[in-house]
Structure 1
Amino acid sequence: MLYETVARAEEILGVNIEELALAARRAPVKAKGAKPRTRRRGAPREDYVMEPVYWDAGTARLLPRLIKGRTRGPVFVTHRKPSPGKVVSRRDVCPNTGLVRLSYGQARALLDAHTAVGGVAGTGWDLHEYRHSGLTHLGEAGASLPMLMAKSRHKKPENVRRYFHPSAEAIAEVTSLLAPGDSRR
């Protein structure tokens, strides 16, 4: 889901099941730096401007298996219930199972454990690498800078450019456009 949405891990981990539009393959997320909505007289409200993220077939196939018939609560949950002394927001607890929302640290540790090289902790993938590789692959496929900015919800072009690292094959392919006799010139 991180790869296909090109979203930040915190945004995806904050999504609840009831917010998912499974048929439309989208969900609203509270984006980084989201501004609170305000009333006419300037009194802040508790809700934020939400921005949609979109996914494709891979995530669409896996989400039903992940939520396993649950209809409310966090999409990503831990494997255990909160300890008796732990104070947890009602939004962060699945009402069906009592399991707690997966935190960024827990997600990072799980991903590292399952992708570690030779079983050595700290050598696995990072959650943010999915965002980087998604943007890179979209750029290599020919997505324009404005489209990459819209997909990743970046406000400045220079912030998107640092994620885009074209492969040697992509650079060779674009170089072939300059070949003599190319009808596209």
Structure 2
Amino acid sequence: MGQCGGEHLELPPGGVLSWLGWCRERGYEGPMVPVWAKRLSVPDSETPARSKMAIDRLVARREVHLREKTLWRMLYETVGRAEEILGVNVEDLDFAGRRCPVKAKGARSKARRRGQAREDFVLETVYWDAGTARLLPRLLKGRTRGPVFVTHRRPGPGKVVSSRDVCPDTGLARLSYGQARALLDEHTAVRGPGTGWDLHEYRHSGLTHLGEAGASLLMLMAKSRHKKPENVRRYFKPSPDAIAEITSLLAPGDSRR
């Protein structure tokens, strides 16, 4: 966005600017972007960050199924996007290294060779820790292939599902984003359906807690796989207690004794 005379002008994204440059190089006429136009800062996200205690208590609840416990813990520890984690297959998991590759948001296709699969994308790696490591083997029960997170019922006879999205051993289909979101809402809604947590809150919460623990901006970018610092800032929402604690460092030398 740019500003002039009290009015705002939206500055095109990088892809549009590249296209305009391409037009100019080839002699095509295109709209001009004023030199005074300035891009506004990235707006803050409205997604809240949940406390670590709230997340631990939710995962520990007895009525929550093991599948949901594992998914929520994995989302939190990897700070991965829900679509990425739901898309993981058992054969992708590196149990010893506590990591796995995921097809990231906006992943570009690799340069294809003749006969290469069309869904061959550049992958990124996410990492988890002890909580997920304890739950995954219990969830899989010896399964060695197929989607990690599956539904409890086989797809109906009229439903077409990709072979990659069905466990070849059980016939169960991959859990969808909509199903996973509805399950989380079911366990967290307090004012009726649709008022519960969102799956994306685990990503926000994980990055916030890492930042509160002292992780540097570069480490947060590496963990979240963001390319721009301003995008990481949107996810970092320290709690009032964390802000109060760091503010105490500014007190006079004898005030903290």
Separation of aligned partners in 1, 2:199 and 2:209:
16
| Residues 103-144 of structure 1 deviation map (CA, whole Å, 9 limit, x = unaligned) | 0000001111122226x2112111001011111101100111
Q: Aligned residues: percent identity? A: 83
Q: How does 1:51-130 map to 2 (within 5 A)?
A: 51-117=124-190, 120-130=192-202
- 1:37 matched to 2:119: no
| Residues 125-167 of structure 1 deviation map (CA, whole Å, 9 limit, x = unaligned) | 1100101111110110011111111101111111110111111
Please state whether the residue corresponding to 1:28 is helix, strand or coil.
Answer: strand
Q: Which runs of 5+ in 2 are unaligned?
A: 1-73
- Does the CA contact (< 8 Å) of 1:38 and 1:45 recur in 2? no
Shift of 1:172: 2.0
Separation of aligned partners in 1, 2:222 and 2:175:
27
Separation of aligned partners in 1, 2:189 and 2:245:
33
Look up the match of 2:246. 174
| Residues 62-99 of structure 1 deviation map (CA, whole Å, 9 limit, x = unaligned) | 11111111110000001111111211111000011000
Please state whether the residue corresponding to 1:53 is helix, strand or coil.
Answer: strand
One-letter code aligned to 1:136: T
Q: C-alpha root-mean-square deviation of aligned residues, in Å?
A: 1.9
Look up the match of 2:92. 19
- Does the CA contact (< 8 Å) of 1:37 and 1:44 recur in 2? no
- 1:137 matched to 2:209: yes
The number of aligned residues is 180
Q: What's the TM-score once normalised by structure 2's chain length?
A: 0.66
One-letter code aligned to 2:106: G
One-letter code aligned to 1:11: E
Q: Over alpha carbons, which structure has the higher Rg?
A: 2
Separation of aligned partners in 2, 1:114 and 1:172:
31
Separation of aligned partners in 1, 2:195 and 2:252:
46
Please state whether the residue corresponding to 1:87 is helix, strand or coil.
Answer: coil
Separation of aligned partners in 2, 1:44 and 1:20:
21
